[in-house]
Chains A and B, each alone.
Chain A
Amino acid sequence: MDTVTLKIFRGNTSGGEMVSYTVPKTPGMVVLDAVHYIQRSLDTTLACRWNCKAAKCGSCSAEIDGTPRLMCKSRIEEYPSGEITVGPMRAFPLLKDLVTDVSWNYRVATKIPSLVPKPEVSGKPFVLQQEDVERVQEFRKCIECFLCQDVCHVIREHDKKDAFFGPRQMVRIAGLEMHPMDGINRREQLKNEAGIGMCNITKCCTEVCPEHIHITDNAIIPMKERVVDDYFDPITKILRKVGVLPTDKKASFSSVPNGLTVIKQENSSSKS
């Protein structure tokens, strides 16, 4: 029978190793199929995350032959050598085997307020043209696989999780900043807390996005320009002051009122 060899990282916080498994090939097989075969038939303790198996949920992120990819969307045929290495995302703390602690992504997301409709459209059905929403819809295709976060130099090499929200959250903010009905000013957050200036536009995030979102070109660069216009362009400042350019009436925000608490074990205020 035709087989493929998977070398999979097995281990936890105290160390690990690459372990080889021989898996029978079936037509159209993807890496996740092979991992499932191993779980069922060779070692039931192999840990991985997955859900939809159709590239819609973004759960089965891993590094396949060193490249961040979804296991459900990586066909065995793409690796003609017959040997494939699979490891966990390296930008996040390892839990076990292919599973990492991605809770930082959820914690940082709590700092971004959701849509606050402008007062004049609040509570009323929106009237929007398709061309007005298409730009925003691109950003809303994000499936939160966090592969862009994994590959981002700022997060991966420099571990600046405290200074930069990362490409995923840049895409999220872009979807709100460019939403025609959003009523709050998000540029102050982009400049300060979210750290958009940290991005040096190497476009690695765009390359790994399974949804083909143009993260750098369509989200990050236009927002960098808006921030620069707002804070650093003296001519814009003067034109706004004398009323030639409209001032941005959107109110800014200081913090998110409630916020979600992502509860990790043995770490909660509501514990009784």
Chain B
Amino acid sequence: MENCETYEYDILVIGSGGAGLRAVIAAREAGCSVGVLCKSLLGKAHTVMAEGGVAASLANMTNPDGTHEKDSWEVHFVDTMKGGAFLNNWRTVEIFAKEAPDRVLELEQYGAVFDRTPEGLIAERPFGGHKYRRLNHVGDRTGLEIIRTLQDKAVSVGMNVHMEITCTRLLKEGNRVVGAFGYYRESGKFVTFKAKAVVLATGGWGRMYRYTSNSWEGTGDGLMMAYEAGAELIDMEMIQFHPTGMIWPPGMRGILVTEGVRGEGGVLRNSKGERFMFDKKYMPALYNGQFADTEEEGARWLTDKQNNRRPPELLPRDVVARAIYREIEAGNGSEHGGVYLDVTHRGADYIKRKLPSMYEQFHALGGVDITKEPMEVYPTIHYTMGGVRVHPETCATTVDGLFAAGEVAAGLHGANRLGGNSLSDILVFGRRAGIAASSYAKEHTLGVLDNAQIEEEQEYLLLPLKTTNGENPYTIHSELQDAMQTNAMIARTEAGLLSALEKILELQKRAEKLSAPGDRFFNPGWHAARDVRFMLRASEVIVRCALERKESRGAQWRLDFPDRDDEVWGKKNLIASRNGDMVKITTRELDAMPPELKRLFEETK
């Protein structure tokens, strides 16, 4: 076994996006020593890419008659449950909706500078599935504002930052997680961490798909480390296809176009020029009567939200993504096979002020002036609702000593996440995970690292460097992306999913013999070899769960089971866990919602 450095902390936070950094702040305030691991450099995590805003019911917006919109945590709760097609954990959603406003106001104290209302309060914009204007924002770069704010705050409370470390295994003593193992990207040297409690904040996994808004980091390492350590995963079939990703030019395909474009009045049209979202066949029964019936009403809503209903472009993401897909299937696609998103009617000044990074993105990368011409868009893999099953109050996973928050954790979003809820998710539950991990750390001492586990992982990692005639990990990755993009995408069938599964199993076998030429010093091919193995196992879990859920709900759209089945599948979550080398799939009954929460659905109608 190769000797490696060991660092000791009360709390080890794996992941330095919003959830990780908010956990750091909470743990430091609780008096714990904290080490945080970044897979990239500090401040580059996916949080930076969030655009539209952070959802919290501050109720800052006024109507034309001067009254404030009647937003409240109760309405936010109802919207989130409906958006998630009731697969969400209601207790998680309740905590979330109640605490989100405080977490946003706190950011302002830390230094965030939000856009303002005429009264000088934080400005809130409309977004899909949110009944009232609720997305507190900074133009269309809210995520950058949040990560930089948390980064500066975390620096000021003090933490040890380990940058460019890829963590590949959680280390256990008996049934408890007591540390983690990884390597330095720069030198390839191994490193171990000992901690009284570990907070997993590693984000989502979209890289197994061809077209995704995820960066190279989104390979599901954190998710799979938890799975390998015995944690239960939940709702893994639920992958969010964001309705609007760039489709042209080819190199830009998958890059996100913020929902803020629609929030600011952007409209979707097919190649015939039709506002297809007004087609009744796309309106889910759950939202009947709550959206504008005519384009005229939709246009009036831009200036008078009190007396008009929102246009149907602002339905939840799963609904809009499906409609776009069906329009294209029906032959109504745009030049490059997407649909048109047009915001030109808002005028150049307004667009440049409210959507500056979209303007810049299309101008610099796509050669399109969005103040003069429509964008072409197509759904892109964006977010993972599923993940590690956690306790609603404490973010504790089903493994002792391990906590999880943010996108890697599951329960809040159910079958579909509403835009803006991820940024408040990381604030509310990043903090809660930091607090709960700190309490745990105060009741426990450091554990003992098991050399056998470390040695096993070292050998596993080094193998591709020693193998001379194995496959290129990028080739395996590329074939996986094709399989997932073709057969586990937005519209699913049993036959398609089975063929994806067959391909994944074949690739898993081939991935046993990978080659990575070169040495350990900043060697991307070598890193890709470990990443692709995480992705292959995560893909298997996704596909097996998608096969199992024989209904259509939220992001899971089965062409062979097109209806929602509230009697059977509306009552349970799918749970995936490790059983040796096999993926074990079971179900778990949803907890019954208490009457005081049930009542909210009547009251807020």
Contacts and interface: CB of A to CB of B under 8 A. Distances in A.
Contact of A29 (B111, B121, B251, B528): B251
B521 A12 contact: yes
Contacts of B357: 56
A57 B361 CA distance: 13
Contact of B111 (A26, A58, A114, A258): A114
Contacts of B472: 40, 44
B163 A57 contact: no
Interface string A90-127: 00000111010011001001100111010000110111
Contacts of B186: 95-96, 99, 265
Interface string B136-169: 0011010111001000111111111111000000
A271 interface: yes
A254 interface: no
A49 B44 CA distance: 11
A270 to B, nearest CB: 6
A52 to B, nearest CB: 5
Contacts of A129: 116, 120
Chain B facing A: main interface SS? mixed
Residue among B123, B144, B191, B478 with most chain A CB within 10 A: B144
A102 B41 contact: yes
Interface stretch (B1-9, B404-412, B489-497, B596-604): B1-9
B352 to A, nearest CB: 12
Residue among B33, B42, B472 with most chain A CB within 10 A: B42
Interface residues of A, number: 76
Residue among B115, B156, B361 with most chain A CB within 10 A: B156
A240 interface: no
A7 interface: no
A109 B41 CA distance: 14
Interface string B2-45: 00011111000000000000000000100001010000111110
Nearest to B152: A114
A258 B249 CA distance: 47
Given A30-B365, A51-B44, A260-B159, A44 B113 contact: no
Interface string A111-155: 001110100001101111110110011001111100000000000
Contacts of A179: 111, 113
A59 interface: yes
B162 A263 contact: yes
A53 interface: yes
A27 B145 CA distance: 32
A128 B5 contact: no
Given A260-B159, A270-B8, A58 B44 contact: yes
Contacts of B48: 51-52, 56-57, 143
Q: Which 9 A-B pairs have the closest CB atoms?
A: A28-B249, A44-B525, A258-B158, A115-B111, A45-B518, A114-B152, A127-B120, A51-B215, A47-B522
7 contacts: A28-B248, A44-B516, A47-B522, A56-B143, A129-B120, A140-B148, A265-B186
